[in-house]
Every structure is written in structure tokens, then in C-alpha cells.
Structure 1
Amino acid sequence: MGRKLKWGILGTAEIAKIAVIPAIQQSERGEVLGIASRNADKAAEAAQEFDIPKSYGSYEELLADPEIGAVYIPLPNHLHEEWTIRAAEAGKHVLCEKPSSLSSAGTSRMIEACKSAGVIFAEAFMYRYHPKHRRIKEIINSGEIGDIRGIHCTFTFNNADQADNVRFNKSMGGGSLYDAGVYPISAARMYLDREPEAVTVHALFSPEHDNVDMMASGLLGFPGGVNLTFDCGMWAANRSNMEILGSKGTIAMPKMFGWERSSVVPQIFVHVGSVTRSRRV
């Protein structure tokens, strides 16, 4: 095994603590060398909790550390563009939480900065690296369900009572589309290997939550006459399901975007004709 990639974490967000830091620490190819916060005490507390060697009282300090080769950015959405570009300029590879930025122009600037610096830039859609999605792609490519006619996807949960959640701050890029709706859109683009050419979205905005979109539903038209229909929300029961409709059959995937522990074996249901098969991944 070669040298491990040394990671720095920009921020002490919960997703970093419950998912990403433990994952890197369990990896044979990476280690978390440092964590930064604008509050030095918070950074030191997180470093102690996760046995991270270094802590920093600013993001700039972490980026200036020559030992760190890559950074994970779980900051609020409106900060993704700035700190991805600054990390690239510091020569760090970047794994940035979704959405990459709040606009396509912002994402283009991030990509260009990383290309110019010769570093890797990746958006942290964790689901893309789970074997269940590779298996779905294999089934689609095999022709078993025929030509793809449409995709329907849902992703909802209810955290509307969390008044201080950054998802409910409009100026920080809050809202269900940025937090949950990006998943169905990303998945459809991945499965179809195409980009949408028409988009229609209707949303429910809540004055109680800084007028961010708490629920949304959309229709995306892709080349070849294939549509994605989806709904997402932060004000409804937990659900995360997908169905891919083909000319001969369907693929159904419950718990589509969850990050299950290794003891949970995901299942894919393939229905062709009168036969439904369950496939473990």
C-alpha cells in the first residue's frame, strides 16, 4: 500500500462527523490530518473527539498546511464556490458537498479553477459509489427492461422543526431542491448519460422557514423523449424511492439514497412481464 492521502476538513458539520470523517479513517488510502473551524475551540473539540492530529482556528490556516493534500468541504451551500476555488489555488484536491454551487456559472468557475491548478474536483454524491447503482446501470445497459421511457424518483424527510438548520436560511442556499432534489436529477443524468433540455418545477415556499422551498416537484425532459418526474421535500414523511420504466419492464429501488451500514443489504426489484426478481447487491 502506498502513501495515504492526507485530508483536511473545512468545518465541523454533522455530515462530516457522522459519515465522512469515519469513512476516511476506515479507509486504507486516506487519513484525516486536520480539521478547521472559524471557532478554534470547536475545531479542537472535534479533533479530540475523532483523534485528528491537527486543528485550526480558520479555514485559511488549514489550506496553508503543506502536509494536507485534499480537503472535504461540508460548509453551507453559499460558501462552496469560494472555498473550493481557494482550496484549488492552495493546491488541494477538493471533495465538495452537493450542490457544488448555487449556479451553473459558479460551478463552471470552480471546475476551471481546479483544472488550472491541476487538482481533482468532485461533488460529494455518495450514492454514485455504492455498488447498487453500478448494478442498476448494468441492468439498464443489458437491455433487460428494454428502452428507457421514464424515471420517477422521490426523496423526502421531515426536519421542519429544526429552526436553526442552515437548510432554512435562504441567503445560505437553503431549500429542498438544493438539499434533496439534486439527488433525483443527478441520478437521472447518470443513468441516461444525457443532460436535460427542458425543466419545469413547482415548489411550496414557507414563510416559517425564511421562504425557502420546503417541498418541490419537477419534470425534466431529456433527449430521446425520456422524462424524469420527481418530488423532494423537508416537510414530509421519510421516503427515498426510484422506478425506472422501460419498454419491457421496470427497475425499482427502495431506500434509493440512504447511506446504509454494511450490515444492511440493498435490494433491487426487476419486473419483466409477469416475473419480479429481487436482486441483492
Structure 2
Amino acid sequence: MAMSDLVHPQPPPQPPQPPPTEEKRPDFSRDSAANTPSDSYVIQFPKDHIYRVPPPENEYRSKAYARRAARQKRRTCCRCLAWTAGAFAVLALALASAAAVLYLVFQPKIPNYSIDSIAVRGLNLSSNTADRPLSPELDVAIRADNPNKKIAIYYRDGSSVAAAFADAVLCRGAWPVFYQGKRNVTVFITALKGSGIRLSGATRKSLTAAVNRGAVPLDFRVEVPVRVKFGAVTSWTVTVKARCDVTLDKLTADASVLSKKCKVHVDFF
């Protein structure tokens, strides 16, 4: 067999190729964008379907929810108030119990104070000195009596003692700082001084008339911060206030006390 007689396989025929076409580019024109679908939608409602308040068919349910929320809020507030009131009640009960125990154990009594004597200087009321300011000085002997068997008293700094006639304050001073033991009586002298005191015409006339009668009423006001010692326990600072009405026979260094009366009370807070 000759080489020319051999049959060579032929590749399968290729399908006809379409002619090349121009590549299409996206059209971003306005008309194209308007006709292109997107993922966003606009839904229009009629104006009569837009409500600022719940529609009638949901009004009852909305009011029910509002009432339920209001009741829940009231219950929460009431619960908080109840807890607070209960805590205060327990605290008040504890304080009252402690005070009752202290009272039964120590049987506290308010101290007694009185004025034993007063030496007066600088109160010259003669007609020749009517227009001059006064500089009165009083040396006041005060008796402090602590009647308690189990309580001591610390008299602290920051006190005030004032002497007045009618509504005119004549002089001021201070209560001394000291420790007063149980069932102790202490007598001390405190100096009260005034400077540039000008009395009105009516007050000067009334004071002169009292001197001429031989009975001059003076009013003493005392405020003293103290701490009270109960056994080994010392209290917080409380204020002892006293008011003493004293009548002197004259306004001199050798004046005598005709009458005296003192009232005492304690401010615990």
C-alpha cells in the first residue's frame, strides 16, 4: 500500500463564529437611570391614613398600655418610699432604744446655774455724761452645779455671755473652758466688757429711774457648747443655753444681788 493511500483523521468542523460586535457600555443617562430597577421603594399613603394619634380601633389598646405603665411606675415609687420609711423607722427605734437605756442607766439631770455676785464699773449715768458713750465692765461670779452622779461635763470654747438692760446690750464676755466632774459645784468669775455703748434717751432715762429706785433689772444670756461624758463614752457637742434675770440694788463695784432666777435648757442638735 502506498503512502498516498493512507487516510488521516480530520478535525471536526468548527461552527461558524458570529461577527464581532461592539461592546455595550452602561448608560448612565437620566432616562436610563429612571428605567433601571433599584433596591429602594417609595410607598405613598393617602393623607387621611396618616395619624398623629392612634387610630380609633387601637385607641383602647394604647390607653391600656399607658395605664399599665403608670401603675407600674406608681408601684415602684411606693415600694421605694416604703423601704425608705421602714429604714427611718428602724433607725429612729434604735436611737430611741439607746436613749432609753442611757437614761435608765445614767439618769441624766440638767446642770444648775446661778449668779452669786456682780461688780459693776463704767456705768456713770450722771447728767454731765449724758452724751458720752459708755464702757461698762461687769465681773460676774457664776455658780455651776453638776448634780449628776455618773456624768461629767466638758465646757468647750466658743461660748457667749451677754448682759443687757431692757433691749440694750451693755457688755459681752465668754464662759471659761474647763472640765466639771460628777456631783461638782464650781464657782468662777467671768469678765464682761462693753465699749462705745450709746443708750437711747428713753433707755437711759429708764435705767436712771431704776438706779434711783434701788432695783436695777439685768438680763443675762448664756450659750455654752459642751460635751457630756457617760462613763467611758463622750457625746457629740451640744449647746447649753441659760437665761438669768438678776436685780441689783445699784450699779457699783459693791452692788448686791436682790433677786435672781435662771432657766436652763439644752439643744441636742
Question: More helix by proportion, 1 or 2?
Answer: 1
Query: Is this a same-fold pair by TM over 0.5?
Result: no
Question: Greater relative contact order (Cα 8 A, min sep 6): structure 1 or 2?
Answer: 2
- Relative to the length of structure 2, the TM-score reads 0.21
